[in-house]
């Protein structure tokens, strides 16, 4: 028997073993997830905005709060992007320069203020990081407008450039 025929003969066995290993791995994973305190969703919607914290706010709610002046909007993006365009009246508090701009923000924004942070893109995490930083400073009424800058523009809401 030459090597080619030996490989052809072993091929079904290799495929079977690989499938068996895969099934065992899936079984172990599902078993471990079953016993976790905070189970991972298996069949849920895995879009980035759904995966994130419960601090999300929908665009229609954000719009109502904006129009009624019941929230302060805070842009978590780098300062140069803020200067290119932002939600009208939004405060620039870039995550990477938080310490540099926080004191200015603190002077104009009491800890009980309702704050909506935003950045741009569904995968952007800057607004979530900013919420954590603001919580550490005593702010409690915090929401994230996921993909905020894009959604705001798509809904033709007021912007400044």
Give residue-wise pLDDT tens across range 33-66.
Answer: 888 776 666 765 444 444 445 689 999 999 999 9
Instruction: Based on the fold, state whether residues 16 and 90 are members of the same structural domain.
Output: no
Whole-number pLDDT of residue 6:
67
Instruction: Based on the fold, state whether residues 113 and 156 are members of the same structural domain.
Output: yes
Q: How many domains does the chain fold into?
A: 2
Whole-number pLDDT of residue 12:
84
Angstrom distance (rounded) from CA 77 to CA 117: 10
Q: What is the CATH number of the domain that holds 76?
A: 3.40.250.10
Angstrom distance (rounded) from CA 76 to CA 92: 7
Instruction: Based on the fold, state whether residues 23 and 92 are members of the same structural domain.
Output: no
Q: At 160, which helix (H) or strand (E)?
A: strand 159-160
Q: Can you give the residue range of the structural domain that contains 23?
A: 1-42
Instruction: Based on the fold, state whether residues 56 and 3 are members of the same structural domain.
Output: no
Instruction: Based on the fold, state whether residues 156 and 134 are members of the same structural domain.
Output: yes
Angstrom distance (rounded) from CA 87 to CA 75: 8
Instruction: Based on the fold, state whether residues 89 and 74 are members of the same structural domain.
Output: yes
Instruction: Based on the fold, state whether residues 64 and 139 are members of the same structural domain.
Output: yes
Whole-number pLDDT of residue 50:
40
Q: What is the pTM of this model?
A: 0.68
- Alpha helices of 36-157 — where are they, by DSSP H? 48-51, 59-67, 79-84, 98-108, 126-136, 148-154
Any idea of the CA torsion for 22, 23, 28, 34, to the nearest 10 degrees? 130
- pLDDT band, very low/low/confident/very high, at 142 (cuts 50, 70, 90): very high
Whole-number pLDDT of residue 46:
47
Instruction: Based on the fold, state whether residues 71 and 133 are members of the same structural domain.
Output: yes
Give residue-wise pLDDT tens across range 79-94.
Answer: 999 999 999 999 999 9
Instruction: Based on the fold, state whether residues 72 and 90 are members of the same structural domain.
Output: yes
| Residue % of the chain over a pLDDT of 90 | 70
| Residue % of the chain over a pLDDT of 70 | 86
Give residue-wise pLDDT tens across range 21-37.
Answer: 999 999 998 888 888 77
Q: Calculate mean pLDDT across residues 120-148.
A: 93
């Amino acid at each position: 028997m030459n090597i080619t025929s030996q490989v052809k003969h072993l091929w079904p066995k290799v495929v079977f073993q690989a499938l068996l290993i895969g099934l065992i791995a899936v079984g172990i994973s599902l078993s471990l997830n079953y016993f976790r305190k905070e189970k991972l969703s298996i069949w849920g919607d895995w879009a980035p905005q759904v995966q994130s914290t419960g601090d999300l706010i929908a665009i229609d709610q954000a719009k109502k709060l904006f129009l009624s002046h019941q929230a302060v909007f805070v842009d978590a993006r780098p300062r140069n992007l803020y200067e290119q365009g932002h939600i009208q009246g939004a405060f620039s508090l870039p995550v990477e320069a938080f310490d540099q701009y926080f004191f200015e923000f603190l002077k104009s924004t009491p800890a009980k203020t309702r704050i909506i942070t935003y950045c741009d893109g569904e995968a952007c995490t800057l607004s979530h990081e900013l919420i954590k930083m603001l919580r550490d400073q005593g702010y409690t009424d915090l929401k994230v407008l996921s993909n905020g800058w894009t959604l705001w523009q798509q809904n033709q809401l007021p912007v400044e450039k």
